[in-house]
């Protein structure tokens, strides 16, 4: 199998961090997104949505969508569990993963894609007003996360999960979006430091 | 347990259809979203994101996020499988569910929320240009789906899954968004008819 990888963009990182936490090595096939490699025939023929990463199995089967790729490896290699261990835990992890995805990662991406000059060819039309309108929503999520992280070591509770990965790549994505975690949100900042201290953060 | 329900909005429908396909009955607690019941103390104290539906277990445990609620019931009641039966199948279903969510449901919601007068208090600010810019993206997804559905009975392949549910509620949501499936997309229209013919469609 091989993983068509997209470098430092959030979703390719998300899958590489997941694999590192599982202790799995999958051959990477680098694709240069800055040269629009995700729109090449190589990738388009495998994922018509022209998004990365894309996993290709030895028989040619394709799995795209980061979380679907993670699900595949979670099912094949359940330990350490990054998506929950029983019905209630799996539901809880999925709840937090989706909360971080829709209320943080997606909103930060909206801020970035609709304002950053480097995205002018990617997001057509760029709508500056839409970028701006997402900023207070990002800040509201960070304030809520700060409250939630008062008594929790990890986003979904007592164990490191995919929800931490999604939240970490979203917080790392604040910088290119020209946002930051307000310094009074010490619980978010401490949690983020703990996440960055894990070897997987460099994957 | 009880399910705080939000009537005809897409996400509450998504969970009710899932339960109907599983043959499960969960006591519903209706919440009037048109009277902003999802912003009430009753719901806010259970889900700070003020979104419906919300599942409350007998011990007070809360699960929000539609797909997380579905995951809970899928794990407790695996048959009929609506989220896949083995590692590859689960990944494939998740891929299609996410494709339908991010490339159809979310985009239709963007068109609706940023233009419909009834949403003026919900989506602040409403950005008409953003609504408009999502319309061609919705149409592009429908054209791609039409191609995909040429040789498939269901969105994810041979079996009815949660990906069909997400796609169906998204297609049903076209009407309030003042869009429709172009009549040349006969494979989408036929698939939609098959979905609407299932008893669960009225859940």
Interface residues on A facing B, Cβ-Cβ cutoff 8 A: 48-49, 57, 61, 63-65, 67-69, 71-72, 75-76, 86-88, 90-92, 94-95, 98-99, 103, 125, 127, 129-130, 133, 144
Least confident of A99-103, A185-189, B100-104, B115-119: B115-119
Average pLDDT over residues B131-151: 97
Interface residues on B facing A, Cβ-Cβ cutoff 8 A: 48-49, 57, 61, 63-65, 67-69, 71-72, 75-76, 86-88, 90-92, 94-95, 98-99, 103, 125, 127, 129-130, 133, 144
A181 band by pLDDT with thresholds 50, 70 and 90: very high
In this prediction, residue B122 carries a pLDDT of 87
Q: Is the pLDDT of residue A14 over 90?
A: yes
Tell me the C-alpha distance between A43 and A26, whole Å. Answer: 18
Label residues A41-69 b or e (16+ Cβ within 10 Å = b). Answer: eebeebbebebbbbbbeeeeeebbbbbbb
**pLDDT tens per residue, range A30-40:** 999 988 999 99
Tell me the C-alpha distance between B129 and B74, whole Å. Answer: 39
In this prediction, residue B59 carries a pLDDT of 97
* First CA to last CA distance, chain A: 19
Classify domain B87-202 at the CATH topology level. Answer: Glutathione S-transferase Yfyf (Class Pi); Chain A, domain 2 (1.20.1050)
Contact check, Cβ <8 Å, B87/A76: yes
A44 band by pLDDT with thresholds 50, 70 and 90: very high
Of the residues B11, B60, B68, B144, the best mutation for testing chain A's interface (the one with the most A CB atoms within 10 Å of its CB) is: B68
Average pLDDT over residues A87-107: 98
Least confident of A25-29, B119-123, B171-175: B119-123
Tell me the C-alpha distance between B171 and B201, whole Å. Answer: 12
**pLDDT tens per residue, range B94-117:** 999 999 999 999 999 999 999 999
- Report chain A residues whose CB lies below 8 A from the CB of B76: 87
Every domain of chain A with CATH number 3.40.30.10 lies at 2-76
Cβ distance A191 to A149 under 8 Å? Answer: yes
Percent of chain B with pLDDT over 70: 100
Cβ distance B68 to A91 under 8 Å? Answer: yes
Tell me the C-alpha distance between A186 and B57, whole Å. Answer: 32
Contact check, Cβ <8 Å, A49/B99: yes
Tell me the C-alpha distance between A105 and A118, whole Å. Answer: 18
Mean pLDDT of chain A: 97
A36: its two tokens: 């629009």
Tell which CATH classification among 3.40.30.10, 3.10.129.10, 3.30.70.270, 3.40.50.2300 matches the domain B2-76. Answer: 3.40.30.10
Against a cut of 0.95, is the pTM above it? yes
Percent of chain A with pLDDT over 90: 97
A148 band by pLDDT with thresholds 50, 70 and 90: very high
Every domain of chain A with CATH number 1.20.1050.10 lies at 87-202
The ipTM assigned to this model is 0.97
Q: Is the pLDDT of residue A121 over 90?
A: no
In this prediction, residue B121 carries a pLDDT of 86
Of the residues A49, A69, A95, A161, the best mutation for testing chain B's interface (the one with the most B CB atoms within 10 Å of its CB) is: A95
- Report chain B residues whose CB lies below 8 A from the CB of A125: 129, 133
Beta bridge partners of A64: A54
Nearest to A68 among B71, B95, B127 (CB): B95
Percent of chain A with pLDDT over 70: 100
Residue recorded with tokens 């993206």: B137
Q: Is the pLDDT of residue A182 over 90?
A: yes
B118: its two tokens: 């009834």
């Amino acid at each position: 199998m091989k993983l068509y990888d997209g470098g430092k963009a959030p979703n390719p990182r998300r899958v590489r961090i997941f694999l590192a936490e599982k202790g799995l090595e999958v051959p990477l096939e680098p694709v240069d997104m800055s040269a629009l490699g995700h729109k090449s025939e190589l990738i388009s023929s495998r994922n018509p949505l022209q998004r990365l990463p894309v996993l290709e199995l030895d028989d040619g089967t394709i799995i795209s969508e980061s979380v679907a790729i993670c699900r595949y490896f979670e099912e094949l290699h359940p330990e350490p569990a990054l998506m929950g261990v029983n019905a209630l835990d799996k539901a809880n992890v999925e709840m937090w993963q989706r909360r971080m995805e829709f209320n943080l990662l997606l909103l930060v991406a909206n801020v970035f894609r609709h304002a950053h000059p480097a995205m002018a060819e990617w997001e057509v039309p760029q709508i500056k007003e839409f970028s701006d309108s997402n900023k207070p929503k990002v800040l509201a999520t960070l304030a809520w996360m700060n409250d939630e992280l008062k008594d929790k070591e990890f986003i979904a509770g007592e164990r490191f999960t995919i929800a931490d990965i999604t939240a970490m790549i979203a917080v790392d994505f604040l910088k290119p979006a020209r946002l930051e975690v307000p310094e009074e949100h010490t619980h978010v900042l401490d949690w983020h430091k703990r996440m960055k201290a894990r070897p997987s953060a460099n994957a």
